Amino acid sequence: MLTSAILAITEVASPNSVDDQWHLLTVSGLTGYFAVKGMIGDLLFWTIIFGLFYFSHFVKKRDYVSSVLPVAAVLAGVGEPWVRVVVMGGFLALAVVQYSKNQLPQEKGEVSDTTIGGRRVPVPLLCAALAIGIRVAARWAGYRHLTWMVV
């Protein structure tokens, strides 16, 4: 589910990036599978993941969101819970920044209530950030409530 969220965020920020690099996503998925099953070590896992990023960014000349997509997808899928939170938050922030830079400037008469640095934030990314924030807050409140019930 988190990998699907990463793919959806990427499609909003950089259209057709998922279809253009299906082979890198396949390699990153297999790498994550082999890491979970214990067939490859940590050093080889990180080497392959960083290699995918460098290949996508420097050889294929893709933007940062498209380059980080295979890495973020595999870490969101197989990482520890704290890694998943960091990856989702960081990737969402990167996508919002890139999307806002790629948009044309607004007209001077137009005023928006969701702006960052004078640029309009995309609604799908804003909704994804809101949903993730609500989920984290609900879990935290649930743990706090259970702690209070025990005391």
Amino acid of residue 110: E
Residue boundaries of the structural domains of the chain = 2-101+112-150
Paired residues of 120 in beta bridges: 115
Confidence of residue 81 (pLDDT cuts 50, 70, 90): confident
Rounded Cα distance between 112 and 92, Å, is 21
pLDDT at 73 over 70: yes
Confidence of residue 51 (pLDDT cuts 50, 70, 90): very high
To which H or E segment does residue 118 belong?
none
Cα separation values, 26 from 17, 38, 79, Å: 14, 18, 17
pLDDT tens digits, residue range 92-135? Answer: 888 888 777 766 555 444 545 555 555 566 677 777 777 877 88
Nearest to 17 by CA among 53, 81, 70, 87: 70
Q: What is the mean pLDDT of residues 43-61?
A: 89
